[in-house]
Amino acid sequence: MNEQNIYLPYLMRIEKVTDEAPLVKSFRLTFIDDEVLNNFTFKTGQFGEYSVIGEGESTFCIASSPTAKGYIECTFRQAGKVTTALSLKGEGDIIGFRGPYGNSFPIHEWKNKNLLFIAGGIALPPMRSVIWNCLDLRKDYKQITIIYGARTVADLVYKHELKIWDEMPDVKLITTVDPGGETPDWKGEIGFVPTVLGKIAPSSENTIAIVCGPPIMIKYTFPVLEKLGFAAENIFTTLENRMKCGFGKCGRCNVGKVFVCKDGPVFSYKQLKELPQEY
Amino acid sequence: MESIRKKAKELLEKNAVQVIIGYGEGLDKSVSAIFVRKPENAETLIFDDRCVHNLAVYLLKNEIKALGKPCIIAHLAALRTILQLASEHQITEDDVLVLGVTHKGELMEFAGFKDIEKYIASANIDISENEKEIINKLEAMTREERWQFWVEHLSLKCIKCYACRAACPMCYCSRCQVEYNQPQWITVEATPVGIIEWHITRAMHIAGRCVSCGECYRACPMNIPINLLNYLTVLTIKEKFNVSAGTSADLDSVMSSFKSDDKENFIKQS
Amino acid sequence: MNIEKKILKYSSLEELVLKLNRDGKQVFAPVKKDNIVDFAPVSGLYEMAEDYIVTVQSAKFVVFPNVETLFEIETSKDKITLKDKDFNSIPEIILLGTRPCDAAGFNILNAMFGGDYQDTIYSARLDKTTLVSISCNKSDAKCFCTSVNGNPGATAGSDILLTRIDNNDFLAEIVTEKGKAIVSKYPELFETVPEINKDKYMADVPVEFNLNGISEKIYSRFDSDIWLEQSLRCIGCGTCAFICPTCGCFDIQDAYDGYSGQRKRSWDSCGFSLFTLHASGHNPRNVQSQRWRQRIMHKFVYLPEQQNLLGCVGCGRCSRSCSANMNLKELLIHLKNVIENE
Amino acid sequence: MPDFQPKIVAFVCTWCTYAGADLAGTSRIKYEPNVKIIRFPCTGRIDFMFLLKSFAYGADGVIVSGCHPNDCHYTSGNFHARRRWIVFRELVDLLGMDINRLCFSWVSAAEGAQWAEIVNSFTEQVRTLGPYKEYRELAEKDKK
């Protein structure tokens, strides 16, 4: 990678576009250059810089699992210049991708443990990657519980996959919407994710908790997990900070001594506790 | 200088204000703005002809507003800045206690903005002769020479550090036009025409509000005479609309008001 | 390693500048224009400024320009082609008149742009750059190189270090292979040197403080209000970062007109509010004191720990050009006193 | 430069000048086709940045035209525009931009003929000035 111009993205073709929620889309991307396709590997939790050539770059995680070969997926909300340009792209269009960057979820250390996935709103994508990765190695893990909440029913992303997980016998899925976000036929929970977590109160015995969501949700979820007996080193999350380069050069994503792009984005709550509140 | 220190100490002791925004000296005798909050530190305040910074730029900064009611040591340009900010509804009389200071260092106390207006009406607020001289010299050049002068000074020297924007007390927008990218009107990086577009935009957005304090020129690390662009708008507005910024607290904004008989000689009208 | 020493007469230096230009090299030197001294291409030594402490801008533009094209973009109806940067279009540049602090700055930039993601554009420019520095015979109140592991006659980072000695000639210390290459290309200009004590020509830069070992203490004061105290007068522009020899933060932007364009990198500053603004509007560094803290932390805590290099060379440029007079030397002295007295 | 075809951009207000230009058309009044008319609700909405960007993207001359004073559909848009152009012209003149390539006019909805006359005379004026290369070439450097 270092002989090459590290800023030059791969060109990717958009295979599939899915409208996940208002202003939220998912792309399935394949590599145009087969040679790149053959030796492209990544680990769950890593991210990339997706670029609309001529508009700029935007940072999202790789939402598909490494076990799904031949393509990568990303999910994004239309918020700024690049994501607006991305949302205008359709199937067959070409975009750029740089990556994979950052560290990954240490799923090999979680063997024979229960997994508790807690996600909020549009933060399900990084979580989805690690959930599918673990489901594809299902026998390595014991009980898998997923608690996923969003503001309203319409805001729930990956609705199709939520059904699949719901029907899986060895996966316990709890979906919730914020109070007032439910529709008449909504059968899931109603309440903020931290409160639903407190109600379900999954045991912390031999369990790893993975939390992804907006800063407000994370702030209220960690104390609940601690109350349930989760040790800080058994809680993992991904941090989000403004990024431009993705590999520790442009100087903006640091939280205290640590670069979110190079030393993260995956951190344990134990590491987080030692970091200043700069995210 | 002594009168400033005495007054400052008194104000802090009476807790009439929570911070004095004045001038102080570093170890190497270089002058900078200081923020005195304890009465015993009042004697670090100084005033002499090196104290040119327009301290009014600090009045709208959130972290300074959080310190409580300020008293500001204001020379003529700062006094005009305060009136201009007041006319733009950014500060009111009880937001700030103004201590005027003449260039000889004499202290002036004002009952309110009206008092300041009287002092400013009596003061000479014109652009200095040598700056007018430079503008005349520029206008005497041919158009091509002028263009060459500004391409050389702006396009080839400006590094887009935005010190001119940061130093200007009138540039208080929470998010500047160049900080929007949908659309990206002005290129972020220092490109030749992008630089010229930036400096035209800055001069147009400050037109009718510039009190010619010269901070933009003093802040420019590349020593580019960008204040001349603002002074040109000051002279034009004085000549064409007979208005000078910072002369009254309830002045109409020049560029968003008008007179039906504004004079001009270039609009074709049959 | 003992550094080879030569004598370079003033006339020989004039000759060297002419010959370098003739051999297709671009020679940059400090030039005084509109009463500021800054690097500019020179064809002869006479154009070089005489009495200056340091140039206004640092010499980093040679390896990390204000605007740099990362790659070219060509688009047609259904095809996008990205043309990699043409590395051999990068000219050979000789930087004459950099100061020892400028030269030391390159080592810090090299570390930041190197590492596991080597920036090949940066290293391509670095390979084609030769530093012929001139040591300092005078300094001013803003200089503090001796307090950050530097000194007015340090050779670190320079390929050749010239020291002005009597009757205007120069003692030349040939530091690196690039330096040797110049000497061997123009042997007639360099003479053998009698024993010379360099120190008597050096500027006297008093040591103001010593920051070794206090980075942990600075970091532990992350939430102290010393940062607010120090940065009240900072107006939040990019001057200090843009002229600093060791600031390498950048922004990436696309320039595109619908048919062709570039992806460009340009200087950025942690002093700007946009630097860390999230698309959601959240900004982890929302006020100026947090940004000033980041500037100090990066140079005096993070870089020493990540690259075991202080992120500052004590050139004093930021203090000289700051319109709010944020005098870094004094602010570091103040920081050290606060830490020691608590 | 007799055979040079200048590119002219005209920013006009929809209530007066655009209607005037329309009247010129319906009355079969011929005028130079070099002008590209861009319609705005009011001259008050025409930002100085539109003019700068026109020159950067290849215009050789720019016309800004709208309702006569006191005719403005929004009562005061043209008065605000007038102040803006008074200051803008002096500023760009100081900068050395060619203000002979800027034409400001009041053209009412009834003045189809006047509109044609303004476009023809201004196009001729810009034709003699030739292409506005210096600004465009500088703008090209923006891309490098």
- Six-digit token pair at B104? 């000889």
- Tell me the CATH number at A177: 3.40.50.80
Whether A88 and A209 map to the same domain: the answer is no
Structurally, chain A folds into a number of domains equal to 2
- pLDDT value at position C1? 60
Give the Cα separation of C194 and B166 in Å (integer): 54
Asked whether the beta carbons of C62 and C28 are under 8 A apart, the reply is: yes
Whether A125 and A141 map to the same domain: the answer is yes
Minimum distance, in Å, between the CA of residue D119 and any CA atom of chain C: 28
- Tell me the CB-side half-sphere exposure of residue D2, using CA atoms within 13 A: 0
Name the residue in chain A with its Cα closest to that of B180: A81
More confident residue, A141 or C77: A141
Count of C-beta atoms within a 10 Å radius of residue A239? 23
Whether A15 and A90 map to the same domain: the answer is yes
Residue A195: pLDDT over 70: yes
What ipTM did this prediction achieve? 0.94
Q: What is the mean pLDDT of residues A14-21?
A: 95
Do the Cβ atoms of C302 and A254 come within 8 Å? Answer: yes
Band (pLDDT 50/70/90 cuts) for residue D143 is confident
Do the Cβ atoms of B184 and A81 come within 8 Å? Answer: yes
- pLDDT value at position C219? 95
Whether A85 and A200 map to the same domain: the answer is no
Give the Cα separation of B260 and A217 in Å (integer): 57
Do the Cβ atoms of D142 and C255 come within 8 Å? Answer: yes
In a domain, A122, yes or no: yes
CB < 8 Å to B187, chain D: 142
Interface residue C3 vs chain D (CB under 8 A): no
- pLDDT value at position A2? 40
Residue ranges in chain B assigned as alpha helix (H): 2-13, 62-65, 76-87, 113-122, 129-140, 143-150, 163-167, 192-206, 215-219, 227-241
In sequence order, which residues have a C-beta less than 8 Å from that of residue D2 and are 6 or more positions away? D127
Whether A114 and A217 map to the same domain: the answer is yes
Band (pLDDT 50/70/90 cuts) for residue B103 is confident
Give the Cα separation of B1 and C221 in Å (integer): 36
Give the Cα separation of B39 and B34 in Å (integer): 14
Asked whether the beta carbons of A105 and A132 are under 8 A apart, the reply is: no
Length, in residues, of chain B? 270
SS3 B172: coil
Whether A78 and A119 map to the same domain: the answer is no
Give the Cα separation of A31 and B190 in Å (integer): 35
Whether A135 and A57 map to the same domain: the answer is no
Question: Quick one: what percent of chain A has pLDDT higher than 90?
Answer: 92
Do the Cβ atoms of B197 and D49 come within 8 Å? Answer: yes
Minimum distance, in Å, between the CA of residue C250 and any CA atom of chain B: 10
SS3 D47: coil
CB < 8 Å to B182, chain A: 80-81, 84
Interface residue B52 vs chain C (CB under 8 A): no
Give the Cα separation of A205 and C130 in Å (integer): 62
SS3 B197: helix
Whether A125 and A218 map to the same domain: the answer is yes
- pLDDT value at position A3? 61
Whether D contacts A, i.e. 3 or more CB pairs less than 8 A apart, is no
Minimum distance, in Å, between the CA of residue A120 and any CA atom of chain C: 15
Minimum distance, in Å, between the CA of residue B244 and any CA atom of chain D: 14
Whether D contacts C, i.e. 3 or more CB pairs less than 8 A apart, is yes
**Cross-chain CB nearest to C119 (options A51, A249, A276):** A249
In a domain, A181, yes or no: yes
Average pLDDT, chain B: 95
D partners (3+ CB pairs within 8 A) are B, C
- Tell me the CATH number at A38: 2.40.30.10
CB < 8 Å to A240, chain C: 278
A partners (3+ CB pairs within 8 A) are B, C
Interface residue A241 vs chain C (CB under 8 A): yes
Residue B3: pLDDT over 60: yes
What angle do helix axes D77-95 and B129-140 make, rounded to 10 degrees?
80
Residues 69-88 of C with CB under 8 A from D: 69
- pLDDT value at position A1? 39
Interface residue C254 vs chain D (CB under 8 A): no
CB < 8 Å to B184, chain A: 81
Residue B162: pLDDT over 50: yes
Q: Which of D47, D90, D100, D125 to mutate to test the interface with B (most CBs of B within 10 A)?
A: D90
Question: Quick one: what percent of chain D has pLDDT higher than 70?
Answer: 98
Choose among B40, B41, B6: nearest CA to B24.
B41
Asked whether the beta carbons of A244 and A252 are under 8 A apart, the reply is: yes
Average pLDDT, chain C: 94
Q: What is the tens place of the pLDDT at every residue in C165-181?
A: 988 899 999 999 999 99
Whether A215 and A116 map to the same domain: the answer is yes
Q: Which of B62-71, C71-80, C243-252 has the lowest mean pLDDT?
A: C71-80
CB < 8 Å to C251, chain B: 188-189
Give the Cα separation of C61 and C65 in Å (integer): 4
Last residue of a domain, one of A75, A101, A127: A101
In a domain, A245, yes or no: no
Last residue of a domain, one of A101, A132, A160: A101
Give the Cα separation of C160 and A199 in Å (integer): 71
CA atoms C211, C216, C221, C222: torsion sign = positive
Question: Quick one: what percent of chain C has pLDDT higher than 90?
Answer: 87
> What are the Cα distances from residue B125, in Å, to A159, B80, B82, B208, D144?
68, 9, 15, 14, 44
Residue B36: pLDDT over 70: yes
Last residue of a domain, one of A79, A101, A123: A101
Minimum distance, in Å, between the CA of residue D59 and any CA atom of chain C: 15
User: For chain C, how long is the longest CA-to-CA vector?
Assistant: 71
Minimum distance, in Å, between the CA of residue C202 and any CA atom of chain B: 21
Do the Cβ atoms of D91 and B233 come within 8 Å? Answer: yes
Share in percent of chain D as helix, strand, coil (round to 5):
50, 15, 35
In sequence order, which residues have a C-beta less than 8 Å from that of residue B178 and are 6 or more positions away? B162, B185, B186, B188, B198, B201
Beta strands in A178-278 (DSSP E): 189-190, 207-212, 235-238, 254-255, 258-259, 266-268
Give the Cα separation of B200 and B187 in Å (integer): 13
Q: What is the tens place of the pLDDT at every residue in D14-44?
A: 999 999 999 999 999 999 999 999 999 999 9
Interface residue D141 vs chain C (CB under 8 A): no
Count of C–D CB contacts within 8 Å? 9
Q: What is the mean pLDDT of residues D118-128?
A: 97
B partners (3+ CB pairs within 8 A) are A, C, D
Please report the DSSP string for A51-67 in residue order. EETTTEEEEEE--S-TT
In a domain, A269, yes or no: no
Whether A87 and A18 map to the same domain: the answer is yes
Do the Cβ atoms of C257 and D143 come within 8 Å? Answer: yes
Domain that holds residue A135: 107-238
Band (pLDDT 50/70/90 cuts) for residue D1 is low
Whether A53 and A173 map to the same domain: the answer is no
CB < 8 Å to B160, chain C: 66, 238, 266-267
Q: What is the tens place of the pLDDT at every residue in C271-317?
A: 999 999 998 889 999 999 999 999 999 999 999 999 999 999 999 99
Interface residue A84 vs chain B (CB under 8 A): yes
Interface residue A106 vs chain C (CB under 8 A): no
Whether A130 and A165 map to the same domain: the answer is yes
Q: Count Cβ atoms within 10 A of the Cβ of residue A30 and give its class: 0-12 exposed, 13-18 middle, 19 or more buried.
A: middle
C partners (3+ CB pairs within 8 A) are A, B, D
DSSP C200: G
Q: What is the mean pLDDT of residues C126-131?
A: 97
Stretch (H or E) spanning A271 = helix A269-274
Interface residue A88 vs chain C (CB under 8 A): no
Q: What is the mean pLDDT of residues D59-65?
A: 97
Q: What is the tens place of the pLDDT at every residue in B127-157?
A: 999 999 999 999 999 999 999 999 999 999 9
User: What is the number of helices (H) and of strands (E) in chain A?
Assistant: 7, 15
Band (pLDDT 50/70/90 cuts) for residue B270 is confident
Q: What is the mean pLDDT of residues A167-195?
A: 93
Residue A21: pLDDT over 80: yes
CB < 8 Å to A53, chain C: 73, 75, 80, 82, 254, 256
**Structural domains in chain D?**
8-137 (3.40.50)
CB < 8 Å to C281, chain A: none
Q: Which of B179, B182, B188, B189 to mutate to test the interface with A (most CBs of A within 10 A)?
A: B182
Q: What is the mean pLDDT of residues C146-152?
A: 95
Interface residue B158 vs chain C (CB under 8 A): no
Stretch (H or E) spanning C36 = strand C36-41
Band (pLDDT 50/70/90 cuts) for residue A250 is very high
Interface residue A242 vs chain B (CB under 8 A): no
Q: What is the mean pLDDT of residues B210-233?
A: 97
Interface residue A69 vs chain C (CB under 8 A): no
